[in-house]
Structure 1
Amino acid sequence: MAVSVARMGVLLGLFVGIAMVGFVSSAKFDELFQPSWAFDHFMYEGELLKLKLDNFSGAGFQSKSKYLFGKVTVQIKLVEGDSAGTVTAFYMSSDGPTHNEFDFEFLGNTTGEPYLVQTNVYVNGVGNREQRLNLWFDPTKEFHSYSIMWNQRQVVFLVDETPIRVHTNLEHKGIPFPKDQAMGVYSSIWNADDWATQGGLVKTDWTHAPFIASYRGFEIDACECPVPVASADNVKKCSSSAERRFWWDEPTMSELSVHQSHQLLWVRANHMVYDYCSDNSRFPVTPVECEHHRHQ
């Protein structure tokens, strides 16, 4: 009994610690998010949210707060059928010209062709770090979870908890890493037929509109940052110290587990179709971070 009581005390202490530092975790859209444009293109069906794209407008939403470190997740069922020219995006971003950003962009395609998932990382306003892969399932038939996990050591993109990309902190090699700007969480659907499908060769067929992306399972398990607050104060608040320990600062979160590393290797070997690190025409000199990321 003493062991059980002690364990309960530890769990209670963890819960109180979490409550004190402003974690948020919820499955309800309106607790965490709000529409940001085209309110009339939102459809609510209980816990389900649908965003509509037609030839008048797309739609988008954003988190009510900004966060520094943690994990954000949403379950999405992508546009069914002929989705060529459309893009559904789920991403995190800070504000300003030197912003940081972590992107999932789902690039539609003609019926029967696989969706491509493009990820990108912006650091201090500079992106051009695209990777593209096809998924190992049909993302239009069922809901699947898409997550971004972020701490001071790495950014991990996950699909159904399988890592598909890791961006590691290489500041010791003089490469900037996004760790001091609080970020909002966003999603949107829009027409991008100038580039999204086969480089813009395949245009959106509006006879198939409206295009519907469905969402559920909104979760944010991260450090909430009041706005406006100096970035240094946010970093201090959201970093572990002698008084408190955040889960994202635990040693096990500083790098992938052996199992996750094997999963990432499998994804890269079987599903990656484009990696900026291998694009010699765009980058005659290989970007410095690629040498490290190639060996992960």
Structure 2
Amino acid sequence: MANRAAILTIFAAFAMVGLVSSSKFDALFQPSWAFDHFTNEGEVVHMRLDNHSGAGFSSKSKYLFGKVTVQIKLVAGDSAGTVTAFYMSSEGPYHNEFDFEFLGNKTGEPYLVQTNVYVNGVGNREQRLNLWFDPTKDFHSYAIFWNQRQVVFLVDETPVRVHSNLEHKGIPFPKDQAMGVYSSIWNADDWATQGGLVKTDWSHAPFVASYTGFEINACACPGEVAAADIRKRCSSSAERRYWWDEPTVSELNLHQSHQLVWVRANHMVYDYCSDTARFPATPAECEHHRH
């Protein structure tokens, strides 16, 4: 219990040099395409998809290490064929990326949440799970926590995936590229629902995803910071100590580890590590990941 309290204290200690934190959309983000498909109602932002366009927004800054969080209420009713995404990504052909993709479904069928991790431009690390609640009924928190030891995907503060740093095994880890924060909604009925068998029913459009509770508690990297200096800027030193470098968040605590085991046992429906048809040879990181 003491260890868990320490974790919560560290996660709450955001008022430190180099951090950005705000619950206001306009302070952190901006629409990036289809501006006319946005509605802003005070603390809540809505993005809609119709048969003309989807929509997307992006952060005004890029970040290296920390935690990004948004609360989302997903498309209600028949959302088959639609994808709502919340993700971080750097730029270029060798980019890094951490994805939440919410795959719509027919009315009454559960949403699937797909996570993925790209390192140096290589992805194909999909995991899928169903949720222990209806994500269309209310807002729920989705977060990505990232430091030099691990990337953690969290749903209502419950870890649903961990990607650990296994560089000592010769496996690359994303730690040198600043990443923007993004969200989008689009039509993906060629693959999103039951492998593309169920198509988008445009008679139910517009499909609306709603957002609130925007928080970025991370190390901002202005565009003028050279790539070689980004990691140095966002790592602890004798002059400064960042919360994401504290030992108490270098790995999951016991309670979080139990939560992850529960999620994997009860809600995971696909794990690329177990897909021998796609990967006859088990991917290297799967051999070494503890979770």
Asked if these proteins are the same fold (TM beyond 0.5), I'd say yes
Q: TM-score, normalised by structure 2?
A: 0.95
Contact preservation (8 Å) 2:94, 2:119? yes
> 1:15 offset after TM fit, Å?
7.8
User: Matched residue of 1:284: which SS?
Assistant: coil
- The correspondence for 2:207, drawn from 207, 211, 218, is 211
2:184 paired residue number: 188
1:26 paired residue number: 22
Q: How does 1:262-281 map to 2 (within 5 A)?
A: 262-281=258-277
Residue type at the aligned position of 2:287: E
The answer on 1:233 being equivalent to 2:229 is yes
The answer on 1:83 being equivalent to 2:79 is yes
Any runs of at least 4 consecutive aligned residues in structure 1 with deviations exceeding 3 A, and if so which? none
1:122 paired residue number: 118
The answer on 1:44 being equivalent to 2:33 is no
Percentage identity across paired residues of the two chains: 84
Residue type at the aligned position of 1:167: H
1:282 paired residue number: 278
> 1:73 offset after TM fit, Å?
0.1
2:159 paired residue number: 163
> 1:243 offset after TM fit, Å?
1.2
Q: How does 1:247-258 map to 2 (within 5 A)?
A: 247-258=243-254
User: Matched residue of 2:198: which SS?
Assistant: coil
- The correspondence for 1:151, drawn from 143, 147, 153, is 147
Residue type at the aligned position of 1:224: A
CA distance in 2, matches of 1:106, 1:115: 7
CA distance in 2, matches of 1:22, 1:205: 46
CA distance in 1, matches of 2:41, 2:31: 15
CA distance in 2, matches of 1:115, 1:216: 20
> 1:152 offset after TM fit, Å?
0.3
CA distance in 2, matches of 1:164, 1:140: 19
2:52 paired residue number: 56
Contact preservation (8 Å) 2:88, 2:179? yes
CA distance in 2, matches of 1:37, 1:162: 31
The answer on 1:111 being equivalent to 2:107 is yes
1:292 paired residue number: 288
Q: Which piece of structure 1 moves more, 50-59 or 21-30? A: 21-30
> 1:230 offset after TM fit, Å?
1.6
CA distance in 1, matches of 2:103, 2:132: 15
> 1:56 offset after TM fit, Å?
0.2
> 1:242 offset after TM fit, Å?
1.0
Larger radius of gyration: 1
Contact preservation (8 Å) 2:20, 2:216? yes
> 1:231 offset after TM fit, Å?
1.9
Please give the per-residue CA displacement for 1:38-75, whole angstroms capped at 9, x wherever unaligned: 00000011110000000000000000000000000000
Unaligned runs of 5+ in 2: 1-12
Q: What is the number of equivalent residue pairs in this alignment?
A: 279
Please give the per-residue CA displacement for 1:126-170, whole angstroms capped at 9, x wherever unaligned: 000000000000000010000000000000000000000000000
Q: Which piece of structure 1 moves more, 229-238 or 196-205? A: 229-238
2:197 paired residue number: 201
- The correspondence for 1:172, drawn from 168, 188, 198, is 168
User: Matched residue of 1:262: which SS?
Assistant: helix
1:72 paired residue number: 68
Contact preservation (8 Å) 2:14, 2:217? no
Q: TM-score, normalised by structure 1?
A: 0.93
1:96 paired residue number: 92
User: Matched residue of 1:236: which SS?
Assistant: helix
Unaligned runs of 5+ in 1: 1-13
